[in-house]
Each structure stands twice: as C-alpha cells, then as structure tokens.
Amino acid sequence: MRAKVAALVAIVNVLAGCGTTTSAQPTPTGPGVLTLDKATPPAPGGEVGQASTEFANASDLAMWTKLSDTEKDVDRIAKLDVNKTVKGSMYFEPRTSAWFDGFRGPFVYQDLAGDILMHARVKVEGKSGGWPKRKFSLGGLMARQPGSYAKPNWVSVTIGTGEKSGQVEVKYTQDGSSKPQEVPVKSGWVELALARVGRVFVALYKEEGGKWKVGRRWPSTLPDALQWGVTAYTDWDSYSTLKKDATKGNAKLVKGQPDLKLTVDFVRFLRPELPEYADPLNNASVSDEVLIKAMTPAGA
C-alpha cells in the first residue's frame, strides 16, 4: 500500500528540484516523530519482489530491457551479460557516455509502479583495475521517468570516479537540470539503495563491512510508474566541444577512452512504507537512523 506522507504536498511546493532536508521541529498539527522502534523495514516479496534478480543464470538478462531498444537511442553498451564474464553477476561495460543534464547514457531497467526500494550490491573498476581513470565514470542505480528525452527526469546513486576517484554520487535531474553531490567511498563492493516513498526519493549506500549511510533525500514530482534499473557511463572528457550541446552529443556514438567495468551481484525490489504522520524530508521527524531502518532490507 502506498505510504501517505503528512504535510508532504506543502513541503514539495517549497522545495523545488533537488531539495534538502529540513530540521524544523514537528508540531501537534504537523508531522510527528517516527521513532526507531516504530519504523519497519521494507516488505519483501509480492508483486515487485518478482522483479528481483540474483543473476545466477544467463537467462536472467531477459528480465531487463535496454533503454536504447525501447526509446530508439544510440546503443552505448559495449558489453552486457549475466553469469558469463563474472559468475553469478551481471557484467556491464559502457562506451563513452554520460547521464548529465540532457545527455543520455546506457540504462537497463524494469517498469515498476508505486513505492519502491531498489537494493543492489555493486563493484566499479577501471579496465585495468582500481578506480576508473577517466572523469565521471560511474555505475549504479537509477529511476527514470519514461520518455523524458525532451525534459529528462531521473534520480540516481552511483559509485566510481566523479570529479575525484572513489566517490558515491547522488544526483537528481529535473527537466534536464542535474544537481549532483559526491562523497568519498572505499574501493570494493558497495551496497546501494534507491527508494521512493510517496513523493520522496532517498539514496543510501554501505561500504563492505560498514554501516548504511544516507546519501541524499529529495522531494519529487515524478509519476507513479518509472523505469527502475542499472546504469553505467564513462569518459566525460571525450565529449570535448559537445559538452554544451546535448542534442549533438546524443545523436551519435562519441569515440573516446571508456574506462569502466560494473559488476552487479544482485538487484532486489521491495515495498517500503512510512506512517502517515512521518515526514521524511524533515530530519526532526525522521532521523537518518530511522530512515535507514525504514529504507533498507532487514538484516542488510
């Protein structure tokens, strides 16, 4: 059942685009405080659970759709397979590409509606190991509004090389304007979570052996049905003079020096829910600790 967030409409009207959390204290007539003991992890199984993929068999790839096939775009995927290049995993290698403002990159997805938690375990490397050497070489999770080429709308949480190597990038793009933020992350396997509850998006991440951290909370006006899936892109510098012209950049395959390998251990879909009185855009109503419990799988 879709969670109904109290006072959310008013907050969304105030916080346009890539929003930030507020710390205003809850009031008797506004949002209440969700305590840790009252928060519940997302529900597994059900309708969205059937979209989960463990990548144990090559046939699992058939569950995923390439954006370049459905929306007639340039195919910017150099290699994509399941349980072949890396046993028990999806392997994803992009050509020179970008997801930024109006620029489009590779994307494989499933069509899902309602409140969703997408949880994955991923590893990003350069072709010769270590972090990718080319700027803005990132891989991870994305939720995208279908058919939004003219005015792109999507949200993502990825890892790799951004402005610096070893970064988690959280990014909201509204009507073709991207607002990214980066935080350092250790190399190796990283768990990522991208969730939508009502009209709020949340990005979370966890380093191997570490604890979950909240990357970002955003207000969102994206539609109920979205494309939920996996993306990887690389080598922004090779766009050269095309960096200011997304139309020309999207029209052809840019030759460059792609340097990214994405390995995905699993992608699991669950149903998150928050009580009506909780406002996840207000960290006085829903703290990071409570949000993490509500937006990550039990035991993850």
Q: Where are the domains of the chain?
A: 8-295
Low-confidence ranges of the chain (pLDDT < 50): 1-19, 28
- In this structure, how many other beta carbons lie within 10 angstroms of the beta carbon of residue 176? 16
Look up residue 14 and give its DSSP letter.
H
pLDDT at 26: 61
pLDDT at 14: 33
Q: Which residues contact 62 (CB under 8 A, 6 or more apart)?
A: none
8-295 fold: Jelly Rolls (2.60.120)
Q: CA 69 → CA 33, 72, 133, 273, distances in Å?
A: 45, 5, 29, 33
pLDDT at 155: 98
Q: Which pTM value belongs to this model?
A: 0.90
pLDDT at 221: 86
Q: List, for residues 152-197, the tens digit of each pLDDT value.
A: 999 999 999 999 999 999 999 999 999 999 999 999 999 999 999 9
pLDDT at 25: 66
pLDDT at 6: 36
Helix, strand and coil content of the chain, in percent to the nearest 5, comes to 15, 40, 45
Q: Is the Cβ–Cβ distance between 96 and 102 less than 8 Å?
A: no
Q: CA 134 → CA 35, 37, 140, 142, distances in Å?
A: 43, 45, 17, 21
pLDDT at 1: 39
